[in-house]
Structure formats: C-alpha cells, structure tokens
A = this chain, B = another copy of it.
C-alpha cells in the first residue's frame, strides 16, 4: 500500500505562497502565532495522521460497526483517537484561548482536518462532528448548557452529532415530526425518529450529545417551527451520574463505504422519558443549525478533496512502479516495458486527478481565509467576506464532492484490474467518496441554494463581489506571460457565466421559478468549474512569482508540475463550460413540463 496520502509541499505552497497565512498574524486575534508555530502544528498533524489514523484506514472499513445489544460497537481505535484528539487540542483548534482552545486560524485548522481526513476520513468524522456540535452550543446555548456538555466534548470524552434527518424528512426539513413537549422542569420531552445520524451511537465515548431539530407542540408549520435541542444519550441525574435518557439506537446502516463511522437510526422517547434542552430561542432552530451545516458543508468538500488526494497519490505510486507496454512510437517488443506513467493517457488521468484535487483544496482554503478575515477585520469590512462565503459554500461543497468521485474513478482506472480489487485502496476510496454528493445536502439541494438563494441575495451583491474577485485575479495574472492563455480563458469563462446568469434571471421573470431552477445543477457545475479555474489562476500567480524570484532548485520540479496541472485544467476542464452554457442558454423546459406517465413502460 502506498504510504503517501498528502503533499506537504503543496500544503505549504497553498498556506504560505497562495493564501499568505502569515499575514493573519498581523491582527490581534492571531498575533500569538507565527510561521514557526504553524509549521510545528503542521508537523504534529501529519505525525498524528500517520501514526494513529492511516494504519487503521483499511481495517476500519473491513470491520464495520455492529449494533450489539442496543449499542453500536466500533473499531477499538476510535476510543484512543477521541482521547488523543481531545488531549492534543485538535477538537478545540478553532476555539478561542479564553475557552481553553488553540485559537488557530481556520486556514491552519482546516488544513489539519484535511490531513486527518486524507489519512482516514471515517476516523476523523468523530472528532469533526464533536467540534461542530460543541461550537453550536458555544454559539447559541446557555452557560449552563455549555458547562454541562462542552468541556467533555472538547476533551474527546463525549461525542457530538447533528440530528436532522427523519424517515419522512431528508432533503425537506420542513417536514420533521419529532416533537418536543415543554415541562415545568426546564427541559422538554422529546419523541420521534431520526435516521442517517453519523456517529449517532458508539462505544468509543462515554456519552453522545445530539444537536437535534424538533418541533415544539403548537409551533408554526414548516421550517419556521423548527427548534434546536440538546438531547444526550445519557443525562446527568441529581447525583451527577450519567443515566439513560430514553435514546435508543434502533439500527445501524450497511453502507457502500464510509464504513469506519456508523450511521445510526435513533428512536427517541419510546418510554416518554427522553429529555431535551432548548438551545437559544424557540422556532429559530434551523437558523442556528445552519452554522453547523455550513461548516459541515465545507467540511464535506474538504473530506471529498482529502479522499481524492489520497487516491491520487496511491494511483501515482502505482503508475511510477508498474511497467506495461511501450511508447506508441516505439513498439519493439524486445525492449523492456516502460513504467505506465510514461504513457500519455496515464499522465492525462494523473493530471486530471491533480487538477481536481489541488484545485478543490484551493477553493476550500479560500473559504477558510474568508472565515479568518471575518474574524479579524472590523465590522464594516466583514460583510464582503460573509457574502463571498455564502455564495461559495454550495460550490465548495459540491465541486469536490462530484469531481472527487470522478477523480478517484480515474485513479482506480490507472490500476486497471488491480484497481477493482481490494489489494489496493482505490476501490475503498471509490466506495467511500460516493457519500459526499449526498450528505449535508445533496448536489441538487446545493444547486437550488446557489442559484435560488445565493446568486440573487441582496440584489446579486454576493455574485458581484465574486465576479470582482475573479477580475482582480485576472488583473494580477496579466503581468505574467506564462499565464496569458489561462488569463484570457478565465476572462471568457467569466463572461460566459455572467451571460448565463443574466439569461436565467430573465427566465425567472418571464417563466417563473420552476423554469429558473430546472437546470440549477448544471449551473452549479458550470459555476464550480469557473471557480476552480480562478483558484488555479491564483496558484499560477504564486508559481510565477516564485519562479521569478529565483525559486530554489529543489522546488523547480514542483512548480513546473503545478504549471502542468494548471494547463491541464484550462485545456481539458474549463472547455466543459461551453456545452453547459449551450444547454443553459437554450433550456426548453423539458424537465418542468414532462409528466410522470411518460416514464411508464
């Protein structure tokens, strides 16, 4: 099995050369950090990933969670990991110093998650979910809720979850039916069913803390009647002991992949003794939950990127060592076979993967940088980054998720028949990655969010800010002759995107929302390709700057290789927007008008 799952060189390139993380330390909030501490954190994250997560990547897949006597049994290393993640401060990497956190820039903390996920996505899910759930209580819960739950979560002793989905409410959260009955004792009595809850029950921690959506009796219908509750698996009784809270793990799903982490079905209040505590105000639950959901969506994009990254290095390793065939121009069968990496078609598949994964990592880190800027900048400057983050979230979730599956599939293809067998990890990545276009809002849902909400929000303000970011990159890139083609192509693609967007907005006026949103998924794909081209141009600028500044000799291959990936993206991927534009500009309402009976026979 290949032993490389990330490129430390590429991570440093993005952190320091493209996104200039060091510049964040000029602001008060991050001034305790410097390049040296960043490098130490990076080193520690890589070591932890290599020592703790990577060695059990396959094992956790082959021994998937089981429901035994009402409790989900997971791989024994989960308990160890949660402890180490808690003790090492990895769950609190983004938490302020005054709450005993590490107060790292999001750029830094997100990159650490990337490293952990690349080593073992399922394993990192436990800590990631816990961090997000604790952050939700920290942001919107009372001090009492904070004190009761968060310290144990940050210590890795208690698991956090997000409990949204129900049997009849997946993409449509408006239809949840889990009920919360107020009592005189400060808590609510919860009753209902939840499904598809990641890490929803397991024996690697002492307790599970569900951040759960439910409706208070008498609440308004739809999303405006949803409240957020803390519902622990075990609650603390008057003696301070943990006692069961009538939360039952009623099933664990058998999944295609992502098998290191259980997805659980929960039954709440079968004995009318399930207590939940309201977070914040009633009926505001979905708004609160969106904090965690938005973090989780970008987290899914990162997870997708990380798997595809590890898969890329596994296929690269194979391509370098496997010998087969000869060059097309040299077919003499008496010559020895060449490493398959020398075949153009293999290089194409490797460059495709590299262009996708390094472009995806870049767009996610762009979002991280925006989060950091929102933290450090004065109030009046925050709105810009808030809006950019809003419009990029569905893209940062979906592009890596959709393209990650394709990227891994090409990685698998590089190995031929071996890629289809479990002697190599590609087949596992292929299975694991297929969850990403589904969880935390399917691609279709992200598309509706992008076109139906984000593009039109505040009179198109977010879209205009986004276009301005691309224009700024184009202006900067114009200085470099090596980027001439790419710069021109990105300009054309942006024009095409603006034209398509304008056309769709007119369609909304003339034909209404159904026609407007019918091909939102294609629009998201289009938007995503342009966004990644932008990120590649930003990387191109950094490469050219370094090359012009006498890059170290040992870095030349790296920069040259990255330029090849950039050329690949502009040469092979960006032209896909031509066909998408053709369709989006000529929609005929086919999928709106067609009725169900035409699917008969």
Contact = CB atoms under 8 A, between A and B. Distances in A.
Interface of A: 7, 9-10, 165, 168-172, 174-175, 195-196, 221-223, 253-258, 263, 316, 320, 323-329, 331, 333-334, 337, 339, 341-348, 350-351, 354, 405, 409, 412-413, 416-417, 419-423, 427, 430-431, 434-435, 437-439, 442-444, 447-448, 452, 512-514, 517-522, 557-558, 560-561, 564, 567-568, 571-572, 575-580, 582-583, 586-588, 590-592, 594, 596-601
Contact of A327 (B334, B344, B514, B582): B514
A560 B348 contact: no
Contact of A256 (B327, B420, B586): B420
A597 B555 CA distance: 11
14 contacts: A170-B416, A256-B431, A263-B421, A345-B518, A345-B521, A348-B519, A348-B591, A351-B591, A351-B594, A413-B444, A561-B598, A564-B590, A567-B590, A577-B579
Q: Ordered nearest first, which 8 A-B pairs have the shortest CB separation?
A: A222-B333, A561-B598, A575-B579, A172-B325, A575-B582, A256-B427, A578-B578, A558-B601
A376 B517 CA distance: 52
Contacts of A521: 345, 348
Contact of A571 (B223, B351, B568, B588): B588
Given A221-B333, A337-B172, A345-B520, A421 B255 contact: yes
Contact of A342 (B195, B588, B590, B596): B596
How many copies of this chain does one complex carry? 2
B434 A412 contact: yes
B439 A417 contact: yes
Contacts of A333: 174-175, 221-223
Residue from A258, A513, A571 having most chain B Cβ neighbours under 10 A: A571
Given A438-B419, A594-B351, A514 B328 contact: yes
B438 A324 contact: no
The A interface is mostly helix, strand or loop, or mixed, namely helix
A172 to B, nearest CB: 4
B348 A170 contact: no
Contacts of A222: 331, 333-334
Contacts of A172: 324-326, 337
A79 B408 CA distance: 37
B174 A347 contact: no
A185 to B, nearest CB: 31
A153 to B, nearest CB: 25
B517 A344 contact: yes
A558 B591 contact: no
B594 A564 contact: yes
Nearest to A316: B599
A514 B495 CA distance: 35
A347 B567 contact: no
Nearest to A427: B256
A178 to B, nearest CB: 15
B582 A578 contact: yes
A448 B348 CA distance: 14
Given A328-B513, A346-B444, 16 more contacts: A9-B601, A165-B417, A168-B323, A172-B324, A175-B325, A222-B334, A257-B420, A341-B596, A348-B521, A416-B442, A430-B434, A522-B572, A557-B598, A564-B590, A567-B590, A568-B590
A411 to B, nearest CB: 12
Contacts of A354: 599
Contact of A255 (B254, B325, B348, B422): B422
B513 A171 contact: no
B256 A597 contact: no
Contacts of A590: 351, 564, 567-568, 571
A564 B593 CA distance: 10
A309 to B, nearest CB: 13
B434 A601 contact: no
